[in-house]
Amino acid sequence: MDLTTLTIKKAHDHLIKGDFSVRELTQAYLENIEKKNKNLNAYLEVFDDCLDQADEADKRLKNEKDNFMLGVPMAFKDNMLIKGRNVSAGSKILEGYKATYDAGVIKKLKEAGTILLGRTNMDEFAMGTSTENSAYGVTKNPHDLSRVPGGSSGGSAAALAANLTLGALGSDTGGSVRQPASFCGVVGFKPSYGRVSRSGLIAMASSLDQISPFAKTVEDAEIIYNIIKGKDPQDSTSLDIKDEIYKSKSKMKIGVPFHFINEGTEQAVLDNFNQSIKKMQDLGHEVIPITIPNIKYSLAVYYIIVPAEVSSNLARFDGVKYGLHKDGQDLLADYLLTRGEGFGKEVRRRIMLGTYVLSSGYYDAYYGKANQVKNLLKADFRKTFEEVNFVMTPTSPTVAFKIGEKASDPLALYLADIFTVPANITGLPSISIPSGFALTDGKKLPLGLQFTAPFLAESSLFEIAKQFEKLNG
């Protein structure tokens, strides 16, 4: 069993043919986790009933030959509730907390017979771009252990890249699935906002958060997406839509905002991106330079809206009903001690920023204005998609950086999201696919190419990504 070349589709075919059982497949991943996870710190916990889950899936195989997710071992970012399991969101403040219900996506995957391998490391409350902000240690990039895997879903990306799982889920608020997918050389797909339920996802910024799959191929990402998408009565923002509106054509117009890409992007990333443009042209598609007027404000808008929603969402973690609790002289002292010890530096920074931009006298100047620019950016993209079918950029302006390299400079870390945040602000579907490697310090480090499509145009997005993937090998 070669885990390095195994995909969900291939594993399904082998399982149906009887080449191996779900138990044998699961055992292979558990053995790999045992060997590699100590160095990577991708998993925070591996569940003790994986083989029992596998035995149940084996019983279902004969009767469910069209169920591609049956028996597929998967990893889950540690901010999704799995009933009866610990969940920490990478934070000390949720120490000892066990989920009381299943997240919407977990419910669907359990019904499909997916094997839940364990929970993966993440930046605390999904706040970060490197998985260095976890209260449970740094996750390392399988391609170079001295480098970050990206964030905030770095544990899931690293686990998949190191063949410690066959698929994974993360959450993408500003690129937290696509950017680590780029750094680790896997596929990361963010659906349109509302296509996948957020029920049971520990919230960071509710208007931007989106549960999203990691996979080895575009086809695998589509398989996972087709299981987890759909309306959920527990999430009022989830959409009840059966089919995507947009359909693919043989020749597509692909817009490239060069005015946004060329400044501050590493040369190796630009060289690879120019090669990717040539590949799209070789496929017969037309690549058109475009201007998106307000895209330059997207990062500033993001880092006003996110802290504002963070300060509101994280108010519930006070040590009274669950998680960490510290005793002070009075109730206020309890809160101050608990939150002071329970939250890490980046979380505290964003809570303070968010409280400030929502405060009296500053709300209109900051949060109100950010939402106005958000609407301008949505209008920009609507206009752009009247001219082109997709927008194409690099996924990240850099290759994976060294652990600790940017830890003392929050702004440098925030800039890692520059190409990914527009899709979250506008609610658009976006995918990162491997586009090659850059030789850095003697190591081949992965690079990613990002396509963004109109709202609900997931089917077209998968189509164009598969075309590039096939040509890119």
Q: What is the mean pLDDT of residues 112-135?
A: 97
Q: What is the mean pLDDT of residues 19-29?
A: 98
Say if CB 381 and CB 426 are below 8 A apart: yes
Q: Containing H/E element for 399? A: none
Give the pLDDT score at 415.
Answer: 87
Question: Can you count the helices (H) and strands (E) in the chain?
Answer: 16, 11
Percent of the chain with pLDDT over 70: 99
Which tops the pLDDT comparison, 181 or 361? 181
Q: What are phi and psi of 61, to 5 degrees?
A: -55, -45
C-alpha pair distances (Å), 169 with each of 85, 175, 365, 450? 16, 13, 36, 18
Q: What is the mean pLDDT of residues 142-147?
A: 98
Q: Would you call 36 helix, strand, or coil by DSSP?
A: helix
Does residue 182 have a pLDDT over 80?
yes
Give the pLDDT score at 247.
Answer: 64
As beta bridge partners, residue 203 has none
The predicted-structure confidence for 226-269, as pLDDT tens digits, reads as follows 999 999 999 999 998 876 666 667 799 999 999 999 888 999 99
Which tops the pLDDT comparison, 263 or 41? 41
The predicted-structure confidence for 326-360, as pLDDT tens digits, reads as follows 999 999 999 999 999 999 999 999 999 999 999 99
**What amino acid positions are annotated as catalytic residues?**
77, 152, 176
The predicted-structure confidence for 419-445, as pLDDT tens digits, reads as follows 999 999 999 999 999 999 999 999 999
The predicted-structure confidence for 438-459, as pLDDT tens digits, reads as follows 999 999 999 999 999 999 999 9
Tokens of 437: 């490697």
Question: To 10 degrees, what angle do helices 345-357 and 298-313 make?
Answer: 100
Q: What is the mean pLDDT of residues 61-70?
A: 95
Question: Domains in the chain, ordered, with CATH?
Answer: 1-294+370-473 (3.90.1300.10), 300-364 (no CATH)
Tokens of 434: 């491997």
Give the pLDDT score at 410.
Answer: 80
Give the pLDDT score at 243.
Answer: 64
Give the pLDDT score at 245.
Answer: 63
Q: DSSP letters along 134-155, please?
A: -TT----BTTBTTB---SSSHH
Q: How confident is the model at residue 414 (pLDDT cuts 50, 70, 90)?
A: confident
Give the pLDDT score at 119.
Answer: 98
C-alpha pair distances (Å), 81 with each of 25, 49, 202? 25, 17, 8
Q: Using CA atoms, how far apart are residues 105 and 41, in angstroms rounded to an integer?
A: 24
Give the pLDDT score at 273.
Answer: 98
Length of the chain: 473
For 68, counting Cβ atoms within 10 Å of its Cβ (0-12 exposed, 13-18 middle, 19+ buried), the class is buried
Say if CB 70 and CB 188 are below 8 A apart: no
Tokens of 125: 């409350």
Q: Using CA atoms, how far apart are residues 176 and 252, in angstroms rounded to an integer?
A: 28
Straight-line distance from the first to the last Cα atom of the chain, in angstroms, rounded to the nearest whole number: 22
Place of tokens 């419910």: 107
Does residue 286 have a pLDDT over 90?
yes
Q: Using CA atoms, how far apart are residues 125 and 127, in angstroms rounded to an integer?
A: 5
Q: How confident is the model at residue 387 (pLDDT cuts 50, 70, 90)?
A: very high
pLDDT averaged over the chain? 95
Does residue 412 have a pLDDT over 90?
no
Dihedral sign for Cα atoms in the order 395, 397, 402, 403: negative
Tokens of 320: 């009274």
Residues 6+ apart with CB under 8 A from 167: 8, 72, 73, 74, 75, 160, 213, 214, 215, 216, 220, 224
Give the pLDDT score at 246.
Answer: 60
Say if CB 401 and CB 147 are below 8 A apart: yes
Does residue 57 have a pLDDT over 70?
yes
Give the pLDDT score at 278.
Answer: 97
Say if CB 448 and CB 435 are below 8 A apart: yes
Q: Using CA atoms, how far apart are residues 43 and 37, in angstroms rounded to an integer?
A: 7
Q: Using CA atoms, how far apart are residues 427 and 258, in angstroms rounded to an integer?
A: 22
Give the pLDDT score at 390.
Answer: 97
Half-sphere exposure of 317 (CA within 13 A, CB side): 29
Among 153, 95, 91, CA closest to 125? 91
